[in-house]
Structure 1
């Protein structure tokens, strides 16, 4: 897979969607559905696991981009601070992760947070299980607004880097594609990964 670099398109107004680093909350536990609700609530307010080193390519891209933004979640803010040092950046609530309300299975069923996350996202996506929180349709509309905001930030030709969240970054990417932007490089959705979108050429 090609490595993302800032030098590849130095004059293009690209948008890079980067996932935050590894959070401090361990996932090596087994939880009931109710316990997972509490786990997710704690996950949403915690910062990063100490001692991480972000990829050099991401640090280089951030150093050379025109605009850096993050979501308002602590793990995203600390990720941006880790790669940007003292550089100032804006934080936007519109970039926070989509919710993960789990299906209320019997309490004796204990699963890992990873499996709960998969089940919660599956039910949220395909069966509109949102437990009174943001629905899929609402999240997709928010992603459309976020994509429009990022496009506006990139309108002057400067590169934009976003430090946010895996699934909501995916939704923003879908919105960018609907508007004609192209995914030109991808590192997937692991911690610290980047996905770069380039604006359509003007004929």
Structure 2
């Protein structure tokens, strides 16, 4: 049995300069609704791997579903918010102004350190990842090979849950678009 994670393709993100927190919150909302940048299609080897999977699952974010479509998936078995990326905290201060990339790094670090203002905590995200891992495990039992077209950090959290259940695979964070991580279950 295999569970394969593919990180979504590069979103066609809104272009902007430096933003305050309120502007960045709106930028994230636009990012979550964005289609992919079609000038950066999936590599052929990623398409080939996706085509070998019996079941395809996506988060409900547009970049996940659009990625599956660009991979040539004709039938997405499940589109579910349980597989969404971990949200970023939303601060109410309006200073300083930073680039979206700087906000992403800063807020993600703060989230890992425990700041969960207006979003789920790390503990809640890990519980969600355990539930998502159970769903993927059950799908793999029934279908042998499952593909999740998902997100960087949350895929990593699910991977940790799968490893705790006896799955073998990479525990690396999928930091590049279209990056693949595979987990295999070998019955004792």
User: Could you tell me the TM-score, scaled by structure 1's length?
Assistant: 0.84
1:102 deviation in Å?
Answer: 4.4
1:113 aligns with 2:100: yes
User: Could you tell me the TM-score, scaled by structure 2's length?
Assistant: 0.90
* Distance in 1 (alpha carbons) for counterparts of 2:103 and 2:47: 32
- Structure 2 residues without counterparts, runs of 5 or longer: none
1:84 aligns with 2:72: yes
1:66 aligns with 2:51: no
Match of 1:126 in 2: 113
Match of 1:182 in 2: 168
1:202 deviation in Å?
Answer: 2.2
Match of 2:142 in 1: 156
Instruction: Specify which of 53, 62, 79 is matched with residue 41 of structure 2.
Output: 53
SS at match of 1:173: helix
How large is the Cα RMSD of the aligned pairs? 2.0
* Distance in 1 (alpha carbons) for counterparts of 2:163 and 2:73: 31
* Distance in 1 (alpha carbons) for counterparts of 2:77 and 2:11: 20
SS at match of 1:68: strand
Count of residues paired in the alignment: 188
Match of 1:9 in 2: none
CA deviation map 1:32-64 (0-9, x unaligned): 122111111111122212333201122111111
Instruction: Specify which of 99, 122, 126 is matched with residue 140 of structure 1.
Output: 126
* Distance in 1 (alpha carbons) for counterparts of 2:47 and 2:11: 19
Contact 1:27 1:114 in 2 (8 A): no
1:175 deviation in Å?
Answer: 1.1
1:27 deviation in Å?
Answer: 5.6
Match of 2:187 in 1: 202
* Distance in 1 (alpha carbons) for counterparts of 2:74 and 2:36: 17
- Structure 1 residues without counterparts, runs of 5 or longer: 1-12
1:178 deviation in Å?
Answer: 1.6
1:162 deviation in Å?
Answer: 0.6
CA deviation map 1:58-106 (0-9, x unaligned): 2111111111111111111000011024344321111011111244555
Q: 1:181/1:28 Cα in 2 relative to 1: closer, same or farther (>3 Å)?
A: farther
Q: 1:183/1:85 Cα in 2 relative to 1: closer, same or farther (>3 Å)?
A: closer
Contact 2:58 2:76 in 1 (8 A): no
* Distance in 1 (alpha carbons) for counterparts of 2:94 and 2:26: 16
* Distance in 1 (alpha carbons) for counterparts of 2:149 and 2:76: 13
Contact 1:102 1:117 in 2 (8 A): no
Q: 1:185/1:138 Cα in 2 relative to 1: closer, same or farther (>3 Å)?
A: closer
Match of 1:3 in 2: none
